[in-house]
């Protein structure tokens, strides 16, 4: 029974996170938001394998009166218990228009 708990706490899941940030953010604000997401993931014991800024793209429909957004893709591994906390912090952020967290595999 003890060995089950040990292996469960060490298990990390692979995730992909896409966030869409406000298009009017300055370069410093954009980089600060990206760093905050990275700090959250690494602060919870996660390991970021890739970060891809896709740049500004047109949205399929307006989000909070914006027709464009800055897309960023994160690929990382993290314990499964922290994904809700990550999504809550993204939902609260005023700079994030939309996010999508997907478990890979």
Global pTM reads 0.86
The CATH T-level fold of domain 12-104 is Alpha-Beta Plaits (3.30.70)
Token couple for 12: 């990390």
Q: pLDDT at position 24, please?
A: 95
Q: pLDDT at position 11, please?
A: 86
Domain ranges (residues) in the chain? 12-104
Q: pLDDT at position 47, please?
A: 95
Helical packing angle, 27-43 and 83-92, nearest 10°: 160
Residue-wise pLDDT tens for the chain (105 aa)?
Answer: 554 444 445 789 999 999 999 999 999 999 999 999 999 999 999 999 999 999 999 999 999 899 999 999 999 999 999 999 999 999 999 999 999 999 998
Decide if 57 contacts 73 (C-beta within 8 A): no
Q: What is the DSSP letter of 45?
A: T
């Amino acid at each position: 029974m003890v060995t089950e708990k040990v292996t469960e706490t060490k298990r990390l899941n692979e995730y992909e996170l896409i966030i869409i940030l406000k298009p009017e953010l300055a370069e410093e604000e954009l980089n600060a938001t990206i760093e905050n997401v990275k700090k959250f993931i690494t602060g919870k014991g996660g390991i970021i394998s890739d970060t891809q800024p896709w740049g500004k793209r047109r949205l399929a429909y307006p989000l909070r009166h914006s027709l464009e957004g800055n897309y960023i893709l994160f690929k990382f591994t993290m314990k499964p218990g922290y994904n809700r906390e990550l999504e809550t912090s993204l939902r609260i952020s005023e700079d994030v228009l939309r996010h999508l967290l997907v478990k890979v595999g």
